[in-house]
Structure 1
Amino acid sequence: MVAQVAVSHNSADKRTEGWLLVHSPVPVSCVFLSYLLIMWIGPRLMAHRQPVNIRALLIAYYLAMVCLSAYTFYEFTASSWLAGYNLLCQTVDYSESPLALRMANACWWFYLSQVIELSDTIFIILWKRNSQLTFLHVYHHGCMIFNWWARVKYVAGGQSFLSGLINSLVHMLMYLYYGLAALGPHMHKQLRWKRCLTFMQLLQFFIVTAHAAYSLYIDCDFPLSMNMLVLCYALSLTALFTKFCLQNYLSNKNKKI
């Protein structure tokens, strides 16, 4: 049996130790607690106010997120291709080689993008779209930042790259859709692929679940605890997104007669 590396303080990736929001879980935990505080206070402050007109800000934000997602997608793809990554089982290269550092850097930028995406919730509150503040929304955003903090802290590369690559592609398309929708009602008739985006998100969770499960099955030389973390998280999102799809797209009560 391949020896599994236990994730502990001693096994932290020395290359990423001094990078922003990586050294300790305290900063990202403070970010998340602030996020929860905004979630609690925001809707109450906006309860008797009109929605804030943030259309221009939203368009700029969505454009920036499209660019950032495109960048991380490219970096994950290029780094894994040039390094000859095995899609089914890839160990972490902890060396200081240019390609290993490039992959670690891609992981960090993706992690940072997940922190930035917490802004989605602030915009929802200002726009008074509180129906979108679901458990799935908060769970997904909250878990992603801690999930990727752990990956950048301990395993910046290897198996970690695949879910980041797929998610970057999905988010690039998702923020493109949001950006076009934010241009105004005249664009809405042209945007008929929202359902496709939802099913793309669901598909990515199926892929990540299968990938993590297969890694465990073949005893891939990758930290067991990280593979289990990814598998459990992917399974939970698969269940939640499946429920969302059934309720919003496939249930009889939502079908047009």
Structure 2
Amino acid sequence: MEVHPFVTGLQVLTIWEKAQFFYQGILENGDKRTDSWLLVYSPAPISGIFLCYLLIIWAGPKLMAKRQPVNLKLVLIVYNLAMVCLSAYMFYEFTAVSWMSRYSLLCQPVDYSDSPLAVRMARVCWWFYFSKVVELSDTMFFILRKKNNQLTFLHVYHHTTMIFNWWAGVKYVAGGQSFLIGLINSLVHVVMYLYYGLAAFGPHMTKYLWWKRYLTILQLVQFFIVIIHTAYNLFADCDFPDSMNMIVLAYSVSLILLFSHFYYRSYLTSKKTI
């Protein structure tokens, strides 16, 4: 049966209106305290950063193909040590605010009030989110140094998904159960960026960096802790969005699989070869 163009036009208009309504809901149903903060109100800016990031990953190695690697020794030392400081600050803030607010490790709803501690927790959640945007620089450094073997699926997947996960975290649940993820990950990143900061000093530091494999184990441990914490909260009667818990649970499982594969390939397979 032939469909009249007018009917088709109405159907398209309805789909467009639904899309607009959905997008408006994304904008307006967030945490009003964080809406005015940088890169929070709309997903458009972070999506633009994401697209630029993908473009750089695609074009960067091509532009560097006939060029010499850039010497970034000083930049890497400063960058990594700065990230150690930022991670340490965030770990302190997550720990101090959750302690003073008497957060529960089993069930902690988000406090959407304007109390000083609630806003302070929301603010450190934003800093954690912003740190994930800053960490996209890791990829740029790989490209400029022609370390293209480091541009693995795990690396790109982890960096890109974290910015969207924590955009949603700050937009809708800046606090509550989210605090534990930020707290643990900040501590892990203190160790991780300390490792890369020391490595940036040069080959003479290699003998002091025997603990690289344990860094990967530490990363895996954090994912297992997050899974246990989130799974309990998902099935407990707790006033925290189950949708967020399910996303965190699925995401943590994916990271365990990817990091386990990395650990096996990097440390176990190489031993068998030797």
Give the TM-score, by structure 1 length: 0.95
Which of 96, 99, 103 lines up with 2:117 in the alignment? 99
2:199 partner amino acid: A
1:14 correspondence with 2:32: yes
Residue of structure 1 in register with 2:67 after alignment: 49
Of the structure 1 ranges 111-120 and 219-228, higher mean CA displacement relative to structure 2 is found in: 219-228
Which of 130, 135, 155 lines up with 2:148 in the alignment? 130
Q: Which has the larger radius of gyration?
A: 2
Residue of structure 2 in register with 1:78 after alignment: 96
Residue of structure 2 in register with 1:254 after alignment: 271
Per-residue CA distance 1:65-93 (angstroms, 9 max, x = gap): 11110111110000100000001110000
1:66 correspondence with 2:84: yes
Please give the secondary structure, in 1, of the residue aligned with 2:33: helix
Distance 1:256 1:43 in 2: 30
Q: In the TM superposition, what are the counterparts of 1:99-248 in structure 2 within 5 Å?
A: 99-248=117-266
Identity of aligned residues (%): 68
1:161 partner amino acid: F
Per-residue CA distance 1:198-233 (angstroms, 9 max, x = gap): 110011111111111111121321011111111111
Which structure is higher in RCO with an 8 Å CA cutoff and minimum separation 6? 1
Distance 1:48 1:205 in 2: 40
Distance 1:171 1:107 in 2: 15
Segments of 5+ residues of structure 1 without an aligned counterpart are 1-6
Q: Is the 8 A contact 1:107 1:156 kept in 2?
A: yes
Q: Is the 8 A contact 1:111 1:145 kept in 2?
A: yes
Q: Is the 8 A contact 2:27 2:42 kept in 1?
A: no
Q: In the TM superposition, what is the alpha-carbon distance from 1:185 to its structure 2 partner? A: 0.9
2:90 partner amino acid: T
Q: In the TM superposition, what is the alpha-carbon distance from 1:10 to its structure 2 partner? A: 4.7
2:240 partner amino acid: F
Distance 2:62 2:29 in 1: 44
Q: Is the 8 A contact 1:124 1:130 kept in 2?
A: yes
Q: Is the 8 A contact 1:77 1:165 kept in 2?
A: yes
Distance 2:215 2:29 in 1: 37
Of the structure 1 ranges 219-228 and 104-113, higher mean CA displacement relative to structure 2 is found in: 219-228
Q: In the TM superposition, what is the alpha-carbon distance from 1:178 to its structure 2 partner? A: 0.4
Q: In the TM superposition, what is the alpha-carbon distance from 1:191 to its structure 2 partner? A: 1.1
Segments of 5+ residues of structure 2 without an aligned counterpart are 1-24
Residue of structure 1 in register with 2:9 after alignment: none
Q: Is the 8 A contact 1:103 1:156 kept in 2?
A: yes
Give the TM-score, by structure 2 length: 0.89
Distance 1:255 1:48 in 2: 36
Q: Which runs of 4+ in 1 moved over 3 A?
A: 7-11, 253-257
Q: Is the 8 A contact 1:249 1:255 kept in 2?
A: no
Q: In the TM superposition, what is the alpha-carbon distance from 1:11 to its structure 2 partner? A: 3.4
2:271 partner amino acid: N
Distance 2:75 2:241 in 1: 41
Per-residue CA distance 1:2-37 (angstroms, 9 max, x = gap): xxxxx9555310100100000000000000100000
Distance 2:26 2:63 in 1: 42
Distance 1:34 1:27 in 2: 11
Q: Is the 8 A contact 2:184 2:222 kept in 1?
A: yes
Which of 27, 32, 35 lines up with 2:53 in the alignment? 35
Distance 1:196 1:239 in 2: 17
